[in-house]
Structure 1
Amino acid sequence: MLLLRCHLKRALPQKVLCRLCAVMGKLQSKFKHSTYKYSRPDGFIEERIQTKAFQEYSPAHMDTVSVVAALNSDLCVSGGKDKTVVAYNWRTGNVVKRFKGHEREITKIACIFKSSQFFSASRDKMVMMWDLQSSSQPRQKFSGHTMVVTGLTVSPDSSQLCTGSRDNTLLLWDVGTGQCAERASVSRNLVRTQTCTFTANSFAAVISFRLWDSRGLQVAHTFPTQQHIQTYCEVSEDGHKCVSCSSGFEGEGCEATLWDLRQTRSRICEYRGHFQTVASCIFLPRALASMPAIATSSHDCKVKIWNQDTGACLFTLSLDGSGPLTSLAVADSISLLCVSFSRGIHLLRVDRSQGLELREVAAF
């Protein structure tokens, strides 16, 4: 394909070439040069340059992407500054459906995994519920915050939705009726984000970092104060642990922290190595890393995989030129989705043929 296009460029006018390239399709194979760090068994860290073919899919959004979440093993849902929510098949590189209804940038996405339903939050102070199998209109609207919605999580049984906002409130909603069932105000600090545990009775909210009981929205525990603002948190599948990450600059702060939700006196482990704000942190499936592991993405354009128990950095992938990395999600047992400020969504694949490696295989 590359030789054919070079030949045509000399023989045809530019307008004809552009039309022909469009007909040839949206999927293009290119070669990607990227650097990564590999931790050898002897403890020595090598920096390598890899040249891999990767796919350029049609972009999911026409502007900067803010957040991505997995809907099932084939589809992801993303939102961005173009005010749209997009369901995208990352295996084929196709937009499945676009949803329009918000008036400002999408800030958060929460999916009911292995279903067709998901939620979006926005700077327009609204939260909306969507269904991939119904119309493009929102199935339910949740209106009650007075400032941008920055936290969004759905309970394991999908009957309740919890939202947090810069208006310093947490709201608990009945999904079926769209009515606010509980409200809690925080006198200081902004609700940055929150995530639900799998006990169905509590959730973690990044304020100074607190554990809340969803029965009445009461604070169950306040964790030790961190030096920098916590930007994101996620709870493990068994509901026992939570990982949060912090803002920072030039290596000050910029860490992720593991907490035990059953024994809440102090942190279990810290993961240090990023040089700018860590915007996202996730637990990795055992099948993906073959050990308990955590992944982080940062404004320093790096994705890191960590040994959950020891805090050792197992692998670093640099997505140079992509801008700050703002969101991270597990796509399937060997793939991650990573949002960058400049280049949209990256599909990353784990390769264990020569140890643990992470490489970019597509972008959209």
Structure 2
Amino acid sequence: MGSSYSAIPNADERDLLAMAVKEPQTMCRSMTFLDKHPNVRHPVHTDTINCIGAVRPGMVLTGSSDKSIVLNNVDTGECVIRWRGHTDSVTNVLYKQSQTRHYVLSGSRDTSIRLWLFNQNTPCEIYTSHKLTVTTIANLEDNLFASGSRDTSVKIFDISRKEPLLSKTINRNLVTHISRIPNTTQICQTSEDRIMKLYDTRNLEIIHEFPVKAHIQNHCSASNDGLYAIASSGGSNGDGCEITLYDLRQRKELRGLKGHEESVRCAIFLPQNITCKSIILSVGDDKTVRLWTKEDSKCIWREQSPTGSTLTSCFGFADGNIVVAGANATFAHLKMNGRAGVPFLHCISLQSTNCMPSTNSRQSFG
């Protein structure tokens, strides 16, 4: 028999996780991290997914460059409803409940905003006040919503009226994103002028402008308590490519979260109960999904894009389920779990035009 033997790895999942967190440069993506491969499904879109809008846990809306909006079942990967009508890319989509009615709002490069019902294939209203691409729409209270466009304007609409209630145009304010600040009558707005602004939605007056940044600001998001906001920065080769954390009470910049190597397209505060720290979720052009802690600005998990595509948007639910989307019709369902209070991600399912499912449901990726 001889004395030779084969070494058997004895590191358990906690040891592997600890090593991955300590050495993020060697971190594997989740589909092979614990030898658990995701389900590969047929894509519901045929082009880049530009935006995600939550309806409820397990159901999200997506808007795509294929000009359609889809209600997705996250668990099964199925297209539940598809709406068509825009003549150019859908740039933003959201779910709105007004009294007993349930609506979908979508913005597009065709300069229009459309209001849809879940039981109708055609829009019940079309808003055409913007002159250029509608880049963002945001849910406000009651029947109201806010919109922003490359025409440098921000508008407030009532869903029952085609014309805006309020409109404000600012020179060079090419709007990239608007987010409502919870528990307030305020919104935050990012722009290609590299400035994040705060508005009062009652009159659209600017309350505050934060100091100008070095790069275009792509996206903004407020914490659920309304005390903090983050803005995602453009950049390349590690220059810029940061997430800026702001204190909304003191109205000052706190610090930058650096680690992405290309433009950060979306960053949000992630509801979760794995750790007592506040977690931020981000995606970007460097084809990574990242988790950060707000308190110390550290990147605690880095995940390669499940399909190897650039990522445009992300959303997370309180139960730990996360959806990310991007180029090549990428739509991936991830789950955030934890070991000893350390969060990590695992990819459950994915779909993309560049990795179609095979007859073997256990298809793996290198």
What is the aligned partner in structure 2 of residue 128 from structure 1? 114
Deviation of 1:270 (Å)? 1.4
Confirm or deny that 1:148 pairs with 2:133.
yes
Task: Give CA deviations for 1:155-206 in whole Å, capped at 9, x if unaligned.
Answer: 0x24211111111111111122233101101112311111111234110010
CA RMSD of aligned residues (A): 2.2
Change (3 A) 1:319 1:43: closer
AA aligned to 1:285 is P
Q: Give the Cα–Cα distance (whole angstroms) in 2 for the partners of residues 322 and 113 of structure 1.
A: 35
Confirm or deny that 1:280 pairs with 2:259.
no
Contact 2:274 2:337 in 1 (8 A): no
Q: 2:211 aligns with which of 224, 231, 237?
A: 224
Unaligned runs of 5+ in 1: 1-36
Q: Give the Cα–Cα distance (whole angstroms) in 2 for the partners of residues 45 and 196 of structure 1.
A: 33
Deviation of 1:260 (Å)? 1.3
Identity of aligned residues (%): 24
What is the aligned partner in structure 2 of residue 314 from structure 1? 300
Task: Give CA deviations for 1:67-100 in whole Å, capped at 9, x if unaligned.
Answer: 1121101211001111110001111221110011
Task: Give CA deviations for 1:36-58 in whole Å, capped at 9, x if unaligned.
Answer: x9565995557243232211223
Change (3 A) 1:101 1:42: closer
Contact 1:192 1:205 in 2 (8 A): yes
Q: 2:280 aligns with which of 294, 298, 315?
A: 294
AA aligned to 1:270 is G
Deviation of 1:209 (Å)? 0.6
SS at match of 2:328: coil
Contact 2:306 2:347 in 1 (8 A): no
More contact order relative to length (CA 8 Å, sep ≥ 6): 2
TM (norm. structure 1) is: 0.84
Q: 2:26 aligns with which of 47, 52, 59?
A: 47
AA aligned to 2:133 is V
Q: Give the Cα–Cα distance (whole angstroms) in 2 for the partners of residues 343 and 137 of structure 1.
A: 23
Task: Give CA deviations for 1:265-305 in whole Å, capped at 9, x if unaligned.
Answer: x3123110010000000101132554211011010001110
Contact 1:39 1:45 in 2 (8 A): no
Contact 1:38 1:316 in 2 (8 A): no
Contact 1:210 1:223 in 2 (8 A): yes
Unaligned runs of 5+ in 2: 1-15, 352-366
SS at match of 2:273: helix
SS at match of 1:287: coil
TM (norm. structure 2) is: 0.83
AA aligned to 1:275 is E
What is the aligned partner in structure 2 of residue 201 from structure 1? 185
Deviation of 1:138 (Å)? 1.5
AA aligned to 1:120 is S
What is the aligned partner in structure 1 of residue 289 from structure 2? 303
Q: 2:228 aligns with which of 219, 241, 250?
A: 241
Q: Give the Cα–Cα distance (whole angstroms) in 1 for the partners of residues 268 and 17 of structure 2.
A: 20
Q: Give the Cα–Cα distance (whole angstroms) in 2 for the partners of residues 219 and 274 of structure 1.
A: 31
